[in-house]
């Protein structure tokens, strides 16, 4: 293989790798938007039972719900103010009754939706994907 062919092959390989990185990033950023809908790759904490009313949605984690608001109801804070959930992440989500992984700890398997038990109903303050 001559020098010109080697450079061409190396350049093509770099372009393929950088293109794959762009595709992966695009998927993550679209799921990371807090738009008031629980999209694939996100966890949603709902204002009311049975995944009703406003939803506080996020990807990855939120260490303190007190700093946030429901995207479609900006005057309502989700801290200690959610009754149901939907985990659309591909991993478990750990929920806590205090900020920064404090308080009572529970976990929600990927794909599961439901109402928070009495320990967590209107008590969740932080959540993290595993």
Q: What is the pLDDT of residues 20-44, one digit of tens each?
A: 443 333 333 345 578 999 999 999 9
Q: For residue 101, is it within any domain?
A: yes
In a domain, 1, yes or no: yes
Using alpha carbons, list the distances in angstroms from residue 129 to 8, 61, 94: 42, 6, 6
Residues of the chain falling short of pLDDT 50: 5-30
Same domain, 48 and 86: yes
Q: Do residue 22 and residue 53 come from a single domain?
A: no
The two structure tokens encoding residue 81: 């103010």
37 lies in some domain: no
Q: What is the pTM of this model?
A: 0.75
Structurally, the chain folds into a number of domains equal to 2
What b-and-e string marks burial along 25-37, b requiring 16 or more CB atoms within 10 Å of the CB?
eeeeeebeebeee
Domain of residue 121, residue span: 43-129
Query: Domain check: are 105 and 74 in the same one?
Result: yes
21 and 74 both lie in a single domain = no
């Amino acid at each position: 293989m001559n020098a010109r062919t080697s450079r061409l092959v190396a350049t093509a390989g770099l372009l393929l790798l950088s293109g794959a990185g762009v595709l992966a990033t695009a998927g993550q950023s679209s799921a990371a938007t807090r738009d008031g809908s629980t999209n694939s790759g996100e966890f949603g904490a709902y204002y009311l039972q049975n995944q009703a009313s406003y939803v506080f949605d996020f990807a990855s984690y939120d260490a303190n719900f007190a700093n946030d608001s429901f995207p479609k109801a900006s005057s309502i804070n989700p801290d200690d103010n959610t009754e149901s959930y939907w985990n659309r992440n591909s991993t478990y989500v750990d929920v806590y009754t205090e900020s920064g992984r404090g308080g009572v700890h529970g976990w929600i398997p990927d794909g599961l939706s439901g109402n928070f038990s009495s320990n967590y109903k209107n008590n969740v303050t932080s959540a993290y994907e595993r």
